[in-house]
Amino acid sequence: QVQLVESGGGLVQAGDSLRLSCAFSGRTYSDYVLAWFRQAPGKEREFVARISTSGGMTYYADSVKGRFTISKDNAKNTMYLQMNSLKAEDTAVYYCAWRSLYTAQYAYWGQGTQVTVSS
């Protein structure tokens, strides 16, 4: 079991920055991937970014590339999503998720944190 708890969401204006955190705990094992997803009202959940323990490789959706940065603090067991130059279309509930490096499906999810960007 892996527990994930997001925090840091809020209401900001377009162009502002916000940093989300995802505290994780439990039996994470050594090789895993942590990711951020988001779901806007009336839309399907979409991938935002991921980071792996294998070399700390990162990958971003085209819609956030250059504006968002994913990182992880191993000492704190926390993953972050630094979001800069926020746009109204970034408004969504943001979720963090965990999967083994050797599987494709994310097995554990957090409860989500709301990000609202006003224009």
Q: What is the DSSP string of 18-31?
A: EEEEEEEEE---SS
- Output the pLDDT for position 16: 98
CA 96, CA 21: separation in Å to the nearest integer? Answer: 9
- Output the pLDDT for position 29: 72
- Output the pLDDT for position 85: 98
SS3 102: coil
- Output the pLDDT for position 21: 98
What residues are paired with 18 via a beta bridge? 83
Tens of pLDDT along the chain (119 residues)? 899 999 999 999 999 999 999 999 987 677 899 999 999 999 999 999 999 987 789 999 999 999 999 999 989 999 999 999 999 999 999 999 999 988 999 999 999 999 999 98
SS3 62: coil
- Output the pLDDT for position 65: 98
Question: 69 near 17, Cβ under 8 Å?
Answer: no
Question: 86 near 15, Cβ under 8 Å?
Answer: yes
